[in-house]
Structure 1
């Protein structure tokens, strides 16, 4: 696999991966990257989870609030 990298500098590519993750739309339009992440999360919550687990819309809003709390909380800190 490393043979496919033209410069063979893996750490450079690894640090890019840490910055942007694996979402291909980062390279499509960097100015809308965060919006696309939010859209993806909303689709997962509203469409995928609600259909798979028959979650009602008001419960999806509660899940979004819980997810927000988790995302803005300091890691490994008790509340």
Structure 2
């Protein structure tokens, strides 16, 4: 894993942790919007499928999910 990818994963996980702490159990669309906003502010791209998975798990009230994918070179 490159250092840049590691930093992107860490930044994305920080967003997920924050959204999860405030939005656990909220509607999936609300969680997705919060994730997308936070990731944009953090300057991190995450593939849409990964955002959907994270949003669903947070909405379901599961434990805070782990980010497993980040985009590179504007992917996501």
Shorter-chain TM band: 0.3 to 0.5
**TM-score calculated relative to the size of structure 2:** 0.40
Higher helix share: 1
**Is the radius of gyration larger for structure 1 or structure 2?**
1
**TM-score calculated relative to the size of structure 1:** 0.39
With a CA cutoff of 8 Å and minimum separation of 6, indicate the structure with the bigger relative contact order: 2
